[in-house]
Chains A and B, each alone.
Chain A
Amino acid sequence: MQGPLIDTLVRQGIGRRTFLKYCATLASMMALPPAAGRAMADALAAARRPSVIWLPFQECTGCTESMTRSHSPTIEGMIFDMISLDYHETLMAAAGQQAEEALHAAMKENSGKYLLIVDGSIPLGIDGAYSCIAGRTNVDLLKEAAAGAAAIVAMGTCAAFGGIPKAKPNPTGAVAVSDIVKDKPIVNVPGCPPIPVVMTGVLAHYLTFGSLPELDDKLRPTAFYGETIHDRCYRRPFYDQGKFAKTFDDEGARKGWCLFELGCKGPVTHNACATTKWNGGTSWPVESGHGCLGCSEPDFWDAGGFYKALSMPADPLKMGAAAAVAGAAAGVAVSFANRGKKRAAQVTHETTTLADLEK
């Protein structure tokens, strides 16, 4: 299936008009100038499908599920279909020896040009033995595949930041792609799972401009991760008015008030859920009545509990009583010393006479 993308799309019943609209939307989401939509459309239409190698490591396949199933009828899904996905364990028909051959063939053929997508974290404990494919550790595979990649997309929070496998106490010694690969451009697309349009947006940008989009300090595309959930949340006015749901089934919850007190991590979570929503714009967690878990942020799993508001202590306070006792002990000790000193001063008081006024 070679040839320009637009031909494939047309063959699948996607008209040019629909495609243009998609590109314009994508461009605006990525905060590109309006003209970029057409440029993107032109570039994408003419683009040859790049070779993409998808390596799954310590993961739950949720990212793949997100990419494929939930968006299968959409353009994002189409585009995704249209890339030359040369290796994806879950999706490819081949298995075993065949699959490995396909991987190595693709790496050799497109050396220096292919896009490497990684989902899942990389375990480093006991020499990486926690996760192996074809007898080789994830860290080995990643290093090999990264060597010939043009760029790497770390798909999902596990690949981007270590994710759930890295949650305390991190038994497998899981790390992120960026902890291992230091010499290739990396784009982190965190989320558990990430939003499909973010993925296609990054690809579209890469295909259109031949470069990766603008990234923030955590290597996330600023177009999607530049603002917090809280910034864009439709429930934000309730926060400002101080109207909070106190439980999941109270009056406030029914009225759709702010979920801050129920532990929503929207204020510290950078993602596009509030604008793109999920399942083709149907809904998203906050809209469905649950606070944001902060899944696109590093170590979200250990950020003090999903149902604890941000202003609440992350850990139970253990030191209060002990501190009070220690303080009382210190105070009593000082007070004994003080009283002793004062009594001593009073006992040794020498009565002043007139002569004692003279120096």
Chain B
Amino acid sequence: MDALELLTWARGPGLNIALGIFVLGVVWRLIEIYSLGRRTDLAPARQHAGASGLHTVLRRSVPPPGMLRSSPVSYIGGFVFHIGLALIVFLFAPHILLIRDLTGLSWPALPSQFIDMVTVVTLVAMVVVLVDRINKPAKRFLSTFGDWFTWAVTFLPVLTGWMAVQHLLLPYTLMLALHILSVELLLVVLPFTKLIHAFTLFGSRWYAGRINAHKGVPV
């Protein structure tokens, strides 16, 4: 199998399988998680401005007071790489084409050179958060194989995508194939690793917001 065949496989059957597993996994996991339900709180609720599930979903995206100073790398690094990933995934022209092909939706793209810069920044931020994970005692202590693994499967698509565009190391065709394959790996493992937080994050924030809003505490 040569590079173009690999690329064609990655764009064809590979993508089909990966997206299939991704959709299956996400639907299954979300039902599995949220069908467990919870008991209604029988204590009379207290009202407080800014206390609700939705408030918390939004509020938790902002560092709580003092936390930015105590963990600047987590917050700044985290922000940069999450925003970077979002920009790359949703505003790079070839990616928008993929989304258009899958969903029929499309929107204007950012210049490729800008995305290129964002990618470099994202890669750097991801390396920085990795180093932070190794350096910070609590992070290192909590880290399991899953943490290193998910870092790698998130890092690889960004790296291979960038290297493909920049024509580094390997011929473009092969690098593009590897890029798409690495994205497929990411899609396949996402529902079954902590990467599912991309979905459950909203549920978790909403629950926390809801449960505490019942007591009138905006969290």
Contact = CB atoms under 8 A, between A and B. Distances in A.
Does chain A touch chain B in the assembled complex, meaning CB atoms less than 8 Å apart? Answer: yes
Interface of A: 218, 228, 230-231, 239-242, 244, 260-261, 267-268, 294, 297-300, 302-304, 308-315, 317-320, 322-324, 326-328, 330-332, 334-335, 338-339, 342
B165 to A, nearest CB: 9
Contact of B24 (A324, A332, A335): A324
A330 B17 CA distance: 17
A320 B17 CA distance: 9
By secondary structure, the B interface counts as helix
B109 A242 contact: yes
A335 B111 CA distance: 46
A303 B173 CA distance: 12
B153 interface: no
A327 B24 contact: yes
A314 B8 contact: yes
Interface stretch (B51-59, B96-104, B140-148): B96-104
Most buried by A among B25, B37, B97, B167: B97
Most chain A CB within a 10 A radius of its CB, from B15, B21, B22, B94: B94
Given A302-B8, A309-B97, A339-B35, 19 more contacts: A240-B113, A242-B109, A261-B97, A267-B176, A294-B4, A299-B5, A300-B4, A304-B11, A312-B97, A313-B101, A314-B15, A315-B12, A317-B15, A320-B20, A323-B22, A327-B27, A330-B24, A331-B28, A334-B31
A268 B93 contact: no
A327 to B, nearest CB: 3
Interface string B106-139: 0001111111000000000000000000000000
A299 B24 contact: no
Interface residues of B, number: 47
Given A298-B2, A302-B8, A327-B27, A310 B176 contact: yes
Contacts of B94: 260, 309-311
Given A312-B98, A331-B35, A322 B12 contact: no
B20 A332 contact: no
15 contacts: A240-B111, A242-B115, A267-B173, A268-B172, A268-B176, A299-B8, A309-B94, A309-B97, A310-B176, A311-B95, A313-B102, A320-B19, A320-B23, A328-B31, A332-B35
Contact of B28 (A230, A320, A330): A330
A65 B35 CA distance: 68
Contact of B20 (A303, A308, A323, A334): A323
Given A231-B167, A312-B98, A314-B11, A338 B23 contact: no
B24 A268 contact: no
